[in-house]
Structure 1
Amino acid sequence: MKYDFFKLQFTEKETNPGKTAVAGSDTDMSWSRLQKISERLKVIFRETGVPEGHPVMIYGHKEAFYAAALLACIHSGVTYIPADVIYPEERLRRIQAQTGSQVIICCRETSLAEHFSISISSTLEVTRHRTPCFEKAVYAPGGERLQYIMFTSGSTGEPKGVQITRNNVLTFLKWALHDFPFNGLDVFMNQVPFTFDVSLCDILLAFSHGATLVLNAADVVKEQDKFMERLARYQCTVWTSTPSFVFLFMRHASFNPDYLKSLRTFFFMGEDLPNRTCKNLRKVFPDCTILNAYGPTEATIVTTLVEITDAILDKYPSLPIGYPMPDSRLFLLKEDETQDSGELVISGPHVSPGYFKNEAQTARKFFNNQGLQAFKTGDLSYFADGMFFYLGRNDDQVKMHGFRIELHEISSTLCRNPLVEEAVTVPLKRGHEVKKIISFVILKNNTNAQECKEKLQEFLKDTLPYYMVPGDIIPVGAFLYNNSHKIDKNRMIEDYLITHGL
């Protein structure tokens, strides 16, 4: 049994209907049960009068019902807003106020429900708190069916909604089903919150292939022994995460093919993939495929893909982010055409129509390019050997004492030193002025921190221009991470300032 997102129907219904479709944090759900919930929710949407283009909020974490509710929204042509328990209720109420959402699907009990006109429980009970008013909250940017609105952090303090249409999703899926090496026998490990589109990649691929999706709650992930045991028990074949996330498990005793016998693919996205991380993975899992993908939320999950082979590892100290998807056009905006690098622009039918009710920000970041919607990523890149390479964010390029400094280059240089496992470099600013460059490093083995700092300073003086050598190098046991398992540079800066009384 599987789901056809193009035809919006379940297919091959007689094939393994009892097979596990979703292993949630609370319970397992078969394919036949997944179908029944999807069809029942479709009826509920019709009976409650939810119009096409009205956003329905889904609230929960990693319950099996969450994945079913998400599929039901797609199946029913209903726009959805993913919401997670990791966010404070106040933030979610602001999102509700922005969108005018009248309906919430509750995968667990929450006081949020009473703020919506209609709430739907995980037992499919419908509660009418008041008469819904849908008329003023129906959205179809450019006349296209809106599939979901994913809210990210906004620079103004207000959540910023990225609008993704059904056509955006299908454009991604057409490519993924053709070029991504997965099938119905796969078991996808899913741990990123549903409020980040990395998690949607697993859902679309697992349901399209008739595979199994294993959802892992944050509390289980934090207890590494339980997480490893869960992956082994469900015989996960595909590990999808940011590179930072896999790094957390590199030294775990069970992180090896003898324990994780079924694992065959590491699928990375959401962050720069260090060469050293891949080499370490290759040593531990020599028979596994390593895939590197890249793409902002505004371009529907990912836009480039490459398999990281031994030849690529040996040839490129900084790994490529890959080859562009078909029907897309990627190019570089350069200040000077003599430059090799520039800001990466993505254009194609998978690019978002813009930010929700934010015309000013949409105008700054999106534009029409030869008839295709285009998005300025804010990422610096260069093109070589038919592939794109990531150089860091625009805001990773800072200016200090009149010199332009690429923070990503400092981190990459540190990672080439045999003492260093991982590195991240940040600027300390006063207002808009950069006062100091700080590098945080995770050292290999239990080497003396002070001696390493001195050696690394000397190493950088020999390999970088003097103005790029950090003012301080801080050995740490681990980096701090945000909810999407990306390195939380802001918290690391805050901790540094507190520790040093600044």
Structure 2
Amino acid sequence: MDRNIISYLHLEESFSRSGGNAAPAVLSDCYREISGSDFYAAAAAFAERLYEREVWNQPVIIRAGHRLETPAMFLGALLSGNYYVPLPDDMPEEKVREVMGKLQAEEVYTYDDVRFVRKPPPQDLLNGLREARGRLPEDATLYVVFTSGSTGEPKGIVKSHRGMAAFLDSYSRAFEFSEGDVLACQTPFCFDASAKDFYLMLQYRMDFHIIHREMFFRPSELVGLLDRRKVTLLQWVPSALSMLSQVKAFDRDVPHSLREVFFVGETFPAGQLKYWKEHLSGAVFVNLYGASEMAGVCCSYVVPDGWDGGAVPLGKALPGQEVFLLREGEIIQEPGVAGEICVRSDTLAEGYLDAQEESREKFGSFYRTGDIAEYDREGNLCFLSRQDFQVKHMGHRIELGAIESTAECMEGVDRAGAVFSEGRICLYYQGDADKRRVKEFLEKKLQPYMVPRKIICLDMLPLNRNGKTDHMALQQLR
């Protein structure tokens, strides 16, 4: 497998004068629509700027706005033999300077540093860029993504070229993507989950449309956009998908070309998934599972046509990856026994930035995700909770995530969040289900010691920047 992602994806032809057929036909955001050739020309122009300044194998920090300039800068950084570091475009300056200090970087690039031009790059420039990439080490960095975790301290995760190539190989063996696919990207580019969209677009030269957050507040327009652009593929978080189903956006019209809906990052509430499946009966729905410490994802589960509305499993490992459960040092194989999800794969990150001891501890012969799951009778992994989301109550160790996923299987519960406060379990939910009916439903499905003492309906559950339920905000509610 080629060590550099540019070569692995055979992208060099896309930058040549005759490379028009090797590019997507069209890319768009809310500001413009451009051809694939123009996109590659902009990336090459950004690469030329770095090359002329003799920037090589260095971090290229980018304020990653949700617009076409951002992926063009990503590609330009890679083309010039560097690696990119995406930051939120609204990150406070103090935090940006903190990241710059960690990386010993002197400059931050923004969309003002990109111009979409129709002029193809000269061959001597392409030759120089190829030579620069050829000098990269075997374990060259592809990008560094910063996540604050629970501490608020920026923490860099180092991703490699070979890790991403391994993921794309695994992903493509599991699913049949093609150059005819049209992809709509919802995830902001500062989040690691967007890498699946970016690199899949490059691999298959897919038409690529960036969906801005504001569009989700105009659901009819969003559905019309997906239909007009003939979008075939979505890789969205359930909270984004639910914003359409909660307002019954498909009652009037549907995106007729949509054939694959991948969801990742959190539980897809059963009622919302049911709505999507009922209105897009010809589409395939796939639950994906992964972690920021790997390229892409490691597990998948195709939701069957006869799905009964229960919790959707994480599924099984993608080709070429090994995923197993560990409990007290022993590998678990029998169903119904909880253990920590562990991953052994070439897709794993190189480690944490400037944290060698922690990297050795977390990325030894395998990676411990901190997620707790169990096997069902078909051998699928079923998510229970985060390891740090367990509580001890009435002498029992309880997975709060299991309470949430059970509640979300009930008709009328759109989203649920469970917290442990002042010695009792509290459940918050949004939806039109009656609180008494919710409690009765949980009493039938859960062990008595797991049934929440307090159940509260909110108009909207608080969400964090990742679009997931903000449990810290729920803890502060009274």
Q: Give the TM-score category using the shorter length.
A: 0.7 to 0.9
Tell me the residue number matched to 1:210. 205
Deviations 1:365-395 (A, max 9, x none): 2212xxxxx2110001223424322112112
- Kindly indicate whether the alpha-carbon contact (under 8 Å) linking 2:271 and 2:412 is maintained by their aligned counterparts in 1: no
Deviations 1:309-350 (A, max 9, x none): 124x23x82222122122222111103858722000111111
Structure 1: distance between partners of 2:181 and 2:279? 21
Change (3 A) 1:350 1:264: same
Tell me the residue number matched to 1:487. 469
- Kindly indicate whether the alpha-carbon contact (under 8 Å) linking 1:305 and 1:321 is maintained by their aligned counterparts in 2: yes
- Determine if the alignment matches structure 1 residue 381 to structure 2 residue 373: yes
Change (3 A) 1:225 1:435: same
Structure 2: distance between partners of 1:4 and 1:259? 38
Tell me the residue number matched to 2:299. 304
Amino acid at match of 2:179: G
Tell me the residue number matched to 1:56. 60
- Kindly indicate whether the alpha-carbon contact (under 8 Å) linking 1:299 and 1:346 is maintained by their aligned counterparts in 2: no
What TM-score does the superposition give when structure 1 sets the normalisation length? 0.82
Tell me the residue number matched to 1:245. 240
Q: 1:91 pairs with 92, 95, 98, which one?
A: 95
- Kindly indicate whether the alpha-carbon contact (under 8 Å) linking 1:323 and 1:387 is maintained by their aligned counterparts in 2: yes
Percentage of matched positions with identical amino acids: 26
Structure 1: distance between partners of 2:193 and 2:252? 24
Tell me the residue number matched to 2:324. 331
Structure 1: distance between partners of 2:464 and 2:60? 26
Change (3 A) 1:10 1:89: farther
- Kindly indicate whether the alpha-carbon contact (under 8 Å) linking 1:193 and 1:484 is maintained by their aligned counterparts in 2: no
Deviations 1:24-65 (A, max 9, x none): 23211211112212222222221111122x110111412211
Tell me the residue number matched to 2:175. 180
Deviation at 1:355, TM superposition (A): 0.7
Tell me the residue number matched to 1:132. none
Q: 2:28 pairs with 23, 27, 41, which one?
A: 23
- Determine if the alignment matches structure 1 residue 437 to structure 2 residue 440: no
Deviations 1:128-149 (A, max 9, x none): xxxxxxxxxxxx9996100000
Amino acid at match of 2:274: K
Q: RCO greater where, 1 or 2, for CA within 8 Å and sep 6 or more? A: 2
Tell me the residue number matched to 1:356. 353
Amino acid at match of 1:207: L
Change (3 A) 1:157 1:419: closer
Structure 2: distance between partners of 1:469 and 1:8? 54
Q: 1:398 pairs with 385, 391, 396, which one?
A: 391
- Kindly indicate whether the alpha-carbon contact (under 8 Å) linking 2:22 and 2:205 is maintained by their aligned counterparts in 1: no
Deviations 1:446-497 (A, max 9, x none): x6xxxx3234334434443332221211112222222222222222333x1x
Q: 1:464 pairs with 429, 436, 446, which one?
A: 446
- Determine if the alignment matches structure 1 residue 36 to structure 2 residue 33: no
Change (3 A) 1:256 1:302: farther
Structure 2: distance between partners of 1:389 and 1:18? 37
Structure 2: distance between partners of 1:361 and 1:141? 25
- Kindly indicate whether the alpha-carbon contact (under 8 Å) linking 2:289 and 2:300 is maintained by their aligned counterparts in 1: yes
Change (3 A) 1:93 1:233: farther
Tell me the residue number matched to 1:13. 19
Tell me the residue number matched to 2:189. 194
Amino acid at match of 1:235: K
Structure 1: distance between partners of 2:219 and 2:454? 32
Please give the residue correspondences for 1:268-283 in structure 2 after superposition, counting only pairs within 5 Å: 268-283=263-278
SS in 2 for 1:273: coil
Amino acid at match of 2:234: W
Amino acid at match of 1:329: E
Structure 2: distance between partners of 1:257 and 1:203? 31
- Determine if the alignment matches structure 1 residue 107 to structure 2 residue 106: no
- Determine if the alignment matches structure 1 residue 72 to structure 2 residue 54: no
Structure 1: distance between partners of 2:363 and 2:299? 19
SS in 2 for 1:298: coil
SS in 1 for 2:257: coil
SS in 2 for 1:15: helix
Change (3 A) 1:144 1:331: same
Structure 2: distance between partners of 1:453 and 1:306? 32
Tell me the residue number matched to 1:258. 253
Change (3 A) 1:490 1:181: farther
Tell me which moved more, 227-236 or 186-195.
227-236
Structure 2: distance between partners of 1:467 and 1:387? 26
- Kindly indicate whether the alpha-carbon contact (under 8 Å) linking 1:23 and 1:64 is maintained by their aligned counterparts in 2: yes
Please give the residue correspondences for 1:407-418 in structure 2 after superposition, counting only pairs within 5 Å: 407-418=400-411
Change (3 A) 1:70 1:179: same
Tell me the residue number matched to 1:476. 458
SS in 1 for 2:245: coil
Q: How many corresponding residue pairs?
A: 448
What TM-score does the superposition give when structure 2 sets the normalisation length? 0.86
- Kindly indicate whether the alpha-carbon contact (under 8 Å) linking 2:341 and 2:370 is maintained by their aligned counterparts in 1: yes
SS in 1 for 2:19: coil
Amino acid at match of 2:256: K
Deviation at 1:408, TM superposition (A): 2.0
- Kindly indicate whether the alpha-carbon contact (under 8 Å) linking 2:271 and 2:413 is maintained by their aligned counterparts in 1: no
Structure 1: distance between partners of 2:88 and 2:51? 25
Tell me the residue number matched to 2:416. 423
- Kindly indicate whether the alpha-carbon contact (under 8 Å) linking 1:56 and 1:102 is maintained by their aligned counterparts in 2: no
- Kindly indicate whether the alpha-carbon contact (under 8 Å) linking 1:4 and 1:10 is maintained by their aligned counterparts in 2: no
**Structure 1 or 2: more strand by fraction:** 1
- Kindly indicate whether the alpha-carbon contact (under 8 Å) linking 1:77 and 1:147 is maintained by their aligned counterparts in 2: no
Amino acid at match of 1:481: L
Structure 2: distance between partners of 1:178 and 1:6? 15
